[in-house]
Amino acid sequence: MTSDQIDLVQSSFAKVVPIADAAAELFYGRLFEIAPEVKPLFRNDMREQGRKLMTTLGVVVGSLKNLDAVLPAAKALAVKHVGYGVTAAHYEPVGAALIWTLEKGLGEDFTLEARSAWISTYGALSGVMIAEAYGKEAAA
């Protein structure tokens, strides 16, 4: 991730914050549409789950300029998700649902450059998380 990509991710996420509840609803709706096999993994209140998602995204996005500060928590979260039944293959539809949500939620503000920055950022972070939870071979 470049400094410019981090700036794009952070500035675009700032526009998501005011629509966080709607964005979370869009995200999970899309995730369950493209990966229905993950729906049974979510047993709790989806509104609360959406708030947790947006809070976690906010912390990660806010820490991108000091990624070393957030990586231990991201790695721990990845390992915790294994216990919920999450597999390495689930990271792909999560990323796709995230990008789709940003496109829908931000409209014209989600430029090609912002899209590319988010894809790069998600790829880097999910790669670290997959490697931590499932081994480096799974992240390749």
For residue 29, give both structure tokens.
Answer: 């709706």
Task: Flag whether pLDDT at 140 surpasses 80.
Answer: no
For residue 8, give both structure tokens.
Answer: 């794009």
pLDDT, mean of residues 20-37 = 96
pLDDT, mean of residues 20-26 = 96
Which pLDDT score, from 0 to 100, does residue 1 have? 82
Residue spans per domain, the chain: 3-139
Q: Could you read off the pLDDT of 36-77 as tens digits, one per residue? A: 999 999 988 999 999 999 999 999 999 999 988 889 989 999
Q: Could you read off the pLDDT of 103-114 as tens digits, one per residue? A: 999 999 999 999
pTM of the model: 0.92
How many angstroms separate the first and last alpha carbons of the chain? 18
**Which class would CATH give 3-139?**
mainly alpha
Which pLDDT score, from 0 to 100, does residue 43 have? 86
Which pLDDT score, from 0 to 100, does residue 33 have? 97
